[in-house]
Copies of this chain bind each other. A is one copy, B any other.
Amino acid sequence: MTTTATTARERMLLAKDAARSIGLLGDDAKRDALLAIADAIEAAAPEIVAANAEDLRRGSEGGLSTALQDRLRLDEPRVAALAAAVREIAGLPDPVGRILDERTLTNGVSLTKVSVPFGVVGSIYEARPNVTVDIAALALRSGNAVVLRGGTAAEHTNAALVREMRGALADRGIDPEAIQTVDEFGREGARELMHARGVVDVLVPRGSAQLIETVVTESSVPVIETGAGVVHIVLDETAPLDWARDIVVNAKTQRPSVCNAVETVLVHRAAADRLVGPVVSALQQSGVTVHGDPSVERLAAGIVPATDEDWATEYLSLDLAMRVVDDLDEALAHIRRYSTHHTESIVTQDAANEARFLAEVDSAVVMTNTSTRFTDGGEFGFGAEVGISTQKLHARGPMGLAELTSSKWLARGAGQVRA
Q: Footprint of B on A, CB under 8 Å?
A: 20, 24, 103, 105, 109, 111, 113, 116, 118-119, 197, 201-202, 216-217, 220, 222-224, 240, 242-243, 246-247, 249-251, 254, 345, 354, 358-360, 362-371, 373-375, 379-381, 391-394, 396-398, 406-418
Contacts and interface: CB of A to CB of B under 8 A. Distances in A.
A1 to B, nearest CB: 25
B369 A412 contact: yes
Contacts of A380: 103, 105, 111, 409
Given A380-B103, A397-B408, A415 B217 contact: no
B224 A371 contact: no
Nearest to A359: B24
A409 to B, nearest CB: 4
Contact of A416 (B109, B249, B360, B371): B371
Given A109-B370, A345-B411, 13 more contacts: A109-B374, A118-B392, A119-B392, A222-B223, A249-B417, A358-B410, A363-B408, A365-B408, A368-B411, A368-B412, A374-B418, A375-B409, A396-B408
A258 to B, nearest CB: 11
A223 B197 CA distance: 13
Contacts of A381: 103, 105
Given A367-B411, A409-B397, A412-B368, A392 B201 contact: yes
A359 B24 CA distance: 8
B396 A394 contact: no
A360 B24 contact: yes
A367 B413 contact: yes
Nearest to A223: B222
From DSSP, what is the main secondary structure of chain A's interface residues?
Answer: mixed
Contacts of A217: 197, 220
Given A381-B103, A396-B408, A406-B396, A416 B374 contact: yes
A159 to B, nearest CB: 29
B415 A379 contact: no
Residue in A116, A201, A379, A418 whose Cβ sees the most chain B Cβ within 10 Å: A418
A198 to B, nearest CB: 9
Given A417-B371, A418-B373, A410 B202 contact: no
B202 A409 contact: no
B246 A418 contact: no
Given A379-B418, A410-B358, A417-B373, A224 B105 contact: no
Contact of A366 (B24, B103, B254, B410): B410
Contact of A220 (B201, B216, B249, B374): B216
Contact of A242 (B103, B251, B415): B415
Contact of A369 (B363, B396, B413): B413
A254 B418 CA distance: 7
